[in-house]
Amino acid sequence: MKIKISADSTCDLPRGLIDKYNIGITPLYIAKGTQSFKDSLEITPDALFDYVDSGAGTCHTAAVNVADYLEAFTAYLRDHDAVIHINISSEFSTCNQNAIIAASELPNVYVVDSLNLSTGSGLLVYDAAIMAAQGAAPGDIADRLKASAPCVDASFVIDNLSYLHKGGRCSSLAALGANMLKLKPCIEVVNGKMEVGKKYRGAFGKAILQYVGDKLSDADGIDGRRIFITHTSRVPPAVTRAVADAVGARGIFEEIIESDAGCAISNHSGPICLGILFYRKNKKSAS
């Protein structure tokens, strides 16, 4: 059986993996002024940052609409027997709802709510691609993904809260206080929703290594198949290398994958943000 694996653009998988497994990507939309662009196809994160930093305004994200999903799923089914589509958490976007509506008009389209974002969703997409390549049945793949979703440990450390504030996701007072105190908040995904975890103090490079140490302290509870190091485009390469070295030194993971955050994620996190995303052996709980 030929199965097409599909995801929305927030999965932030590296291009090499997308190409290797022929994963279909449905882009969200980025609104910049009066214009709308397809995430990572028609606008880059750096262009988004330049626009916001210029003072011209803020950008906004919009979900993949039903018509886009219907067009994509119909095209996939011309050459495949089934489609499995993985979405950003339904708590963050109407993408999942729109995909379900489109799938209801077609046969053999399975929609999975990742309960996650960025490569937290990407972990599920990658697993789906591997299972499809190994010949698993589509219903079994969808069931496995739904069982795995609550075990994803997804979090990011943000350099400052200015972009979250501009996007209306935190108050002016909270943003001002965090920035004045040089706090680097850890944003975690728990039960499909974002929560604020530990707040780190000091320079981003130092804070991020403390964060890695905290997240990987319970090695026995971690599924060591793979980990994503996902970052926005303006994180200094030296910081990313230091994180990769720190993760590798733990000896927990069989596969360490670096990934760039796309526009939809970058629009909320701002230009300096990095996270590590992996599976735990059991359902993740708040820190």
Determine contact, residues 77/105, Cβ cutoff 8 Å: no
Stretch 40-44: mean pLDDT, rounded?
93
Instruction: Examine the domain organization and report whether 169 and 193 are in the same domain.
Output: yes
- Give the CATH number for residue 195: 3.30.1180.10
> Which of the listed residues 118, 133, 150 is the one where a domain comes to its end?
150
Q: Is 113 among the domain residues?
A: yes
- Among residues 96, 123, 150, which one ends one of the domains? 150
- Note the pLDDT of residue 221: 96
Flag whether 184 is in a domain. yes
Same domain, 136 and 193: no
The answer on 213 and 108 residing in a single domain is: no
Is residue 130 situated within a structural domain? yes
Q: What is the pLDDT of residue 166?
A: 58
At 17, the amino acid letter reads L
| One domain, residues 145 and 12 | yes
What's phi and psi for 39, nearest 5 deg?
A: -50, 125
Q: Is residue 124 part of a domain?
A: yes
The stretch 206-232 carries a mean pLDDT of 97
> Which tens digits make up the pLDDT trace of 243-283?
999 999 999 999 999 999 999 889 988 999 999 999 999 88
Residue after which a domain boundary falls, among 102, 126, 150: 150
How many domains are there within the chain? 2
Domain range for residue 234?
151-280
Co-location of 169 and 186 in the same domain: yes
Cβ-based burial of 108 (10 A; exposed 0-12, middle 13-18, buried ≥19): middle
- pLDDT given for residue 58 in this prediction: 87
- Do 27 and 89 belong to one domain? yes
**Is residue 85 situated within a structural domain?**
yes
Check whether residue 142 and residue 117 sit in a common domain: yes
The pTM score is 0.92
The answer to whether residue 171 scores a pLDDT higher than 80 is: no
Do residue 265 and residue 146 come from a single domain? no
Q: Do residues 69 and 125 share a domain? A: yes
| 159 and 145 housed in the same domain | no
Residue 34 has which token pair?
Answer: 């009066």
Q: What is the pLDDT of residue 177?
A: 43
Q: Is the same domain home to 276 and 180?
A: yes
Q: What is the mean pLDDT of residues 222-237?
A: 97
CATH number, domain at 139? 3.40.50.10170
| Domain co-membership, 164 together with 77 | no
Q: Average the pLDDT over 166-174 and give the result.
A: 45
